Amino acid sequence: MSTLTYSSDVAFTPAVKEIQARKGSRANYARVEENGGWQTEITDNLAEFIAAQTSFFLATANAEGQPYIQHRGGPAGFLKVLDKTTLAFADYRGNQQFITLGNLSENNKAYIFLIDYVNRQRVKIWGTARVVEDDKALTASLMPQGYRAKAEQTILFTVTAWDSNCPQHIPQKIDLSDVVAVVSDRERQITELKAQVEELTRRLSERDGSASQ
């Protein structure tokens, strides 16, 4: 990758900046650049956000620039932070099209998009990625405990820059497992309250019966 004047130049190319100037937003983003551009290291807050996600999208492109986006999912924490600039995940066996692997073999530029529908947050991460096929210990260490999937290799992602977006237009969605947990807890509370009401009713009945004698 060519040297960037600002970290945000990974996305704000001269063509993008020209459009920003024409559309009236260049001044705002110029101030971001004056402050150093986007963050280039994984902060504690970002690491916490990543650890909570059960899904993300990985974008790659082939040598001709044809883009491809692939969904990756797993238990919370399956996308792991190895250090301040490195993310990693075990690459599970899928439909064996191997488009992502093929793209990365000729173009290492990659992009990760994470979205939290519950809290209406999204994070964009630009960087490079490479496939590690000959380190079984690394791949095994990245496998979520007890998760039923077959890992074939590891993908390491090196962060160039990242940015977070506002919640505008993000629909609020809740995972089924979270809904089931809330409903189960509510049903437990209702059962306990019913038992309390029945016990109070019984005690009142006994008291009224004693008073009438």
Summarised one tens digit per residue, pLDDT across range 69-88 is: 999 999 999 999 999 999 99
Asked if pLDDT for residue 168 goes beyond 90, the answer is no
Compute the distance between CA of residue 196 and CA of residue 194 in angstroms, rounded to an integer.
Answer: 5
Summarised one tens digit per residue, pLDDT across range 18-47 is: 999 999 999 999 999 999 889 999 999 999
Task: Band the pLDDT of 213: cuts 50, 70, 90.
Answer: low
Asked if pLDDT for residue 97 goes beyond 50, the answer is yes
Task: Band the pLDDT of 211: cuts 50, 70, 90.
Answer: low
Compute the distance between CA of residue 130 and CA of residue 128 in angstroms, rounded to an integer.
Answer: 7
Contacts of 73-79 with C-beta under 8 Å, sequence gap 24+, read 74/144, 74/147, 74/149, 75/144, 75/147, 76/51, 76/52, 77/51, 77/52, 77/144, 78/54, 78/142, 78/144, 78/147, 79/50, 79/53, 79/112
β 67-73/55-61 pair status: antiparallel
Percent of the chain with pLDDT over 90: 75
Type of residue numbered 58:
L
Asked if pLDDT for residue 2 goes beyond 80, the answer is no
Query: Residue 212 has what pLDDT?
Result: 64
Summarised one tens digit per residue, pLDDT across range 47-62 is: 999 999 999 999 999 9
Which residues share a beta bridge with 141? Answer: none
Asked if pLDDT for residue 210 goes beyond 80, the answer is no
Query: Residue 88 has what pLDDT?
Result: 98
Summarised one tens digit per residue, pLDDT across range 181-204 is: 888 989 999 999 999 999 999 888
Query: Residue 1 has what pLDDT?
Result: 47
* Region 166-186 average pLDDT: 83
Query: Residue 173 has what pLDDT?
Result: 83
Compute the distance between CA of residue 31 and CA of residue 23 in angstroms, rounded to an integer.
Answer: 16
